[in-house]
């Protein structure tokens, strides 16, 4: 399997001749992708497969916050918070193109409430979530600052008086007693960062490869049967170790691997994306983080001219959950608690998304109390199969690198090999050489403008979208006649052709949901889908029938999973030019 230059079909063919691989990773979410890079770094040959697109599961449904997890302090998860804060700071350094500081305001409605409940929860005496007062929040934020200590790259927390807070945001609920301001980080393009990890892994080692639309389908004593989800063909591989990183599907995948487990007790979480200039302005560029009337945490924050709001936390069995009407009501009611005078309703929602957290099965009384820590559960070789299965349960987006490092160390020990490199300071994808200051940005823009002749404003956009990989995109764009998309001029035809040719796009929805944020921002309509399919069809050798099938498939996904109405899909968007 000599990866980089080969197509997915060629890789699958090559596996028929040489089915042996040291590590097979099932699942191309953030945990599978992070581990693949970690193994590539150690020179271990590995194959990653995902039944769908890369990063199409929970990893695409996260709140997009890279955080220590302030709330987990109440559950006494100090180790997790310490690790997550360390990883947050590392992502600010290694993925500076997508991970950026996010100032966060907590509106606070009492001075002392929650103290007894939190102490009770901490001591295992109480299980119900409750409102959190200023004192309790102050203790949590002080611990947060303490845990980051001298390695902190973000400012420490501050409390702001009621009057100061209302002066800054007159829309805030006047019942607040004060607000607190602290810093975490947000990630603008998690789906792209996940793909970058896979591409980096492949660039590090010719014996490492990631394939989308290939599932783990079955197993025999020595082999795992993979299914090409495009052709339906089966191919067997002979791994020494199988890693099951299929998130909420872990128990289903173990069953396909001839193992019975009951590891996962997932909870679904939904978000809505809101197009509402008044709400956007009221955020003042910050995240609002608060406890709902029932004590559950809700957030909303500005995102490229929209507001992302969520999330829910509801136990489910089906990993294919979607956002339902009751969840939308819940999120809208939460917004009213913070900004009672701002009217937000369903007509402002341009997109919904939902995913299932792959949490460990638990007897906790409320979903909020289930640990968000990660566990690698090992089923040794034996019984019906000759290979062990390592299941990656739980974890946060934020902690993927640490989780991958810990699992890689277990794998190295099992293979009798030694760690040869660390990912602690390894930049990811377009985070390599990413400019950190205004003068560095100017120098980068000057250099790429000189090479490509593209307008500076265009390069600024590309740098935001692709980090320093924007240079490759710009060079490709400059190699031929280009024009803005008719139905979304913020993108251009050659930019879309680049994504189709370089970024493993198999279906049209890969492009609008995961290579770009077009769907998330509510910028997709039927006319745009037709236009995009027309551009990528020749690149991917689609027949006219395939192209129109892709348009229908994508419209269906947008309706069924993301709550778009037929009217929204038909509505023409009024875009800005690129």
Site mask for ligand FAD (CB under 6 A), range 242-271, x = bound: ---xxxxx---x--x------------x--
| Size of the chain, expressed as the number of residues it contains | 578
Which residue stretch of 100-108, 393-401, 430-438, 557-565 sits at the interface with ligand FAD (rule: CB under 6 A)?
393-401
Number of C-alpha atoms within 13 angstroms, CB side, residue 214?
A: 27
**Least CB distance to ligand FAD at residue 83 (A):** 12
Site mask for ligand FAD (CB under 6 A), range 28-47, x = bound: xxxxx---------------
Size of the site for ligand FAD (CB under 6 A): 41
> For residue 50, which of 230, 216, 263, 251 has the smallest C-alpha distance?
216
> For residue 321, which of 52, 57, 554 has the smallest C-alpha distance?
57
Q: Could you tell me if 190 and 62 are in contact, meaning their C-beta atoms sit under 8 angstroms apart? A: yes
**Least CB distance to ligand FAD at residue 364 (A):** 17
- Taking the least distance from each CB to ligand FAD, the nearer of 371 and 461 is 371
**Least CB distance to ligand FAD at residue 193 (A):** 11
Task: Report if residue 62 touches ligand FAD, rule: CB under 6 A.
Answer: yes
Mapped onto helix, strand or coil, the DSSP state of residue 550 is helix
**Least CB distance to ligand FAD at residue 309 (A):** 12
Candidates 102, 106, 185, 216; binder of ligand FAD (CB under 6 A) is 216
Q: What is the DSSP string of 160-175?
A: EEHHHHHHH-TTS-TT
- Taking the least distance from each CB to ligand FAD, the nearer of 23 and 176 is 23
What is the spatial distance between Cα 223 and Cα 376, in angstroms, rounded to a whole number?
Answer: 22
Candidates 1, 39, 45, 57; binder of ligand FAD (CB under 6 A) is 57
Candidates 215, 334, 391, 523; binder of ligand FAD (CB under 6 A) is 215
The angle at the Cα of 73, spanning 71 to 78, to the nearest 5 degrees, equals: 135
Candidates 12, 15, 23, 26; binder of ligand FAD (CB under 6 A) is 26
What is the spatial distance between Cα 413 and Cα 569, in angstroms, rounded to a whole number?
Answer: 52
Beta strands in 172-316 (DSSP E): 178-187, 208-212, 214-219, 224-228, 234-244, 267-274, 287-291, 297-303, 306-310, 314-315
Number of C-alpha atoms within 13 angstroms, CB side, residue 82?
A: 8
- Taking the least distance from each CB to ligand FAD, the nearer of 312 and 516 is 312
Q: Could you tell me if 61 and 191 are in contact, meaning their C-beta atoms sit under 8 angstroms apart? A: no
Which residue stretch of 391-399, 425-433, 538-546, 558-566 sits at the interface with ligand FAD (rule: CB under 6 A)?
391-399
Task: Report if residue 63 touches ligand FAD, rule: CB under 6 A.
Answer: yes
> Residues of 290-316 as b/e, b for ≥16 C-beta within 10 angstroms?
bbbeebbbbbbbbbeebbbbbbbbbeb
**Least CB distance to ligand FAD at residue 58 (A):** 4
Mapped onto helix, strand or coil, the DSSP state of residue 270 is strand
Question: Under rule CB under 6 A, which residues in 455-514 are in contact with ligand FAD?
Answer: none
Site mask for ligand FAD (CB under 6 A), range 339-368, x = bound: ----------------xxxx----------
What is the spatial distance between Cα 359 and Cα 150, in angstroms, rounded to a whole number?
Answer: 32
Q: Which helix (H) or strand (E) holds 134?
A: helix 134-148
Candidates 15, 35, 61, 521; binder of ligand FAD (CB under 6 A) is 61
What is the spatial distance between Cα 54 and Cα 28, in angstroms, rounded to a whole number?
Answer: 5
CA dihedral 56, 100, 108, 147 (to 10 degrees): 100
- Taking the least distance from each CB to ligand FAD, the nearer of 36 and 280 is 36
- Omega of the bond leading into 311 within 30 degrees of 0 (cis): yes
Candidates 12, 65, 211, 298; binder of ligand FAD (CB under 6 A) is 65
- Taking the least distance from each CB to ligand FAD, the nearer of 311 and 452 is 311
Task: Report if residue 398 touches ligand FAD, rule: CB under 6 A.
Answer: yes
Which residue stretch of 23-31, 166-174, 463-471, 499-507 sits at the interface with ligand FAD (rule: CB under 6 A)?
23-31
**Least CB distance to ligand FAD at residue 22 (A):** 18
Task: Report if residue 395 touches ligand FAD, rule: CB under 6 A.
Answer: yes
Footprint on this chain of ligand FAD (rule: CB under 6 A)? 26-32, 49-52, 56-59, 61-65, 67, 215-216, 245-249, 253, 256, 269, 311, 355-358, 392, 395-398
């Amino acid at each position: 399997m000599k990866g980089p230059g080969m197509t997915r079909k060629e890789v699958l063919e090559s596996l028929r001749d040489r089915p042996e691989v040291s590590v097979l990773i099932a699942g191309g979410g953030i945990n599978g992708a992070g581990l693949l890079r970690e193994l590539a770094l150690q020179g271990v040959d590995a194959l990653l497969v995902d039944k769908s697109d890369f990063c199409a599961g929970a990893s695409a449904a996260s709140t997009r916050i890279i955080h220590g997890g302030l709330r987990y302090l109440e559950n006494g998860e100090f180790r997790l918070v310490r690790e997550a804060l360390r990883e947050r700071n590392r992502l600010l350094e290694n993925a500076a193109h997508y991970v950026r500081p996010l100032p966060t305001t907590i509106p606070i409605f009492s001075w002392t409430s929650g103290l007894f409940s939190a102490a009770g929860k901490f001591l295992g005496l109480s299980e119900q979530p409750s409102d959190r007062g200023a004192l309790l929040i102050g203790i949590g934020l002080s611990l947060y600052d303490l845990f980051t200590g001298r390695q902190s790259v973000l400012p420490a927390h501050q409390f702001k008086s009621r009057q100061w807070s209302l002066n800054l945001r007159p829309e805030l609920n006047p019942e607040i007693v004060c607000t607190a301001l602290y810093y975490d980080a947000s990630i603008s393009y998690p789906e792209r960062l996940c793909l970058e990890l896979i591409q980096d892994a492949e660039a590090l080692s010719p014996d490492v490869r990631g394939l989308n639309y290939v599932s783990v389908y079955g197993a025999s004593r020595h082999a795992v049967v993979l299914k090409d989800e495009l052709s339906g063909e089966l191919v067997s591989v002979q791994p020494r170790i199988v890693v099951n990183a299929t998130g909420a599907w872990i128990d289903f995948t173990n069953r396909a691997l001839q193992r019975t487990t009951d590891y996962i007790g997932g909870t679904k979480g939904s978000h809505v994306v809101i197009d509402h200039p008044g709400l956007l302005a009221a955020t003042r560029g910050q995240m609002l983080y608060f406890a709902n009337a029932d004590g559950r945490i809700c957030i909303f924050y500005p995102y490229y001219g929209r507001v992302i709001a969520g999330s829910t936390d509801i136990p489910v069995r089906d990993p294919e959950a979607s956002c339902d009407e009751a969840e939308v009501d819940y999120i809208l009611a939460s917004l009213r608690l913070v900004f009672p005078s701002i009217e937000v309703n369903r007509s402002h929602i341009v997109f919904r998304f939902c995913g299932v957290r792959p949490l460990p099965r638990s007897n906790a009384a409320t979903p909020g109390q289930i640990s968000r820590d990660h566990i690698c559960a090992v089923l040794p070789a034996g019984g019906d199969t000759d290979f062990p299965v390592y299941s990656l349960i739980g974890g946060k987006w934020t902690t993927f690198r640490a989780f991958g490092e810990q699992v890689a160390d277990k794998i190295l020990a099992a293979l009798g090999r030694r760690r040869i490199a660390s990912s602690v300071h390894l930049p990811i994808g377009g985070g390599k050489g990413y400019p950190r200051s205004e003068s560095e940005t100017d120098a980068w823009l000057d250099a790429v403008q000189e090479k490509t002749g593209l307008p500076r404003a265009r390069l600024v956009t590309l740098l935001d979208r692709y980090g320093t990989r924007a240079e490759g995109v710009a060079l490709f764009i400059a190699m031929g006649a280009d024009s803005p998309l008719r139905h979304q001029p913020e993108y251009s035809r050659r930019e879309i052709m680049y994504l189709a040719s370089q970024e493993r796009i198999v279906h049209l929805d890969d492009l609008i949901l995961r290579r770009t944020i077009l769907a998330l921002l509510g910028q997709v309509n039927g006319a745009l889908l037709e236009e995009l399919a027309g551009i990528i069809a020749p690149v991917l050798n689609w027949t006219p029938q395939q192209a129109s099938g892709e348009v229908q498939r994508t419209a269906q996904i947008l309706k069924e999973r993301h709550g778009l109405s037929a009217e929204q899909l038909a509505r023409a968007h009024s875009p800005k030019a690129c």
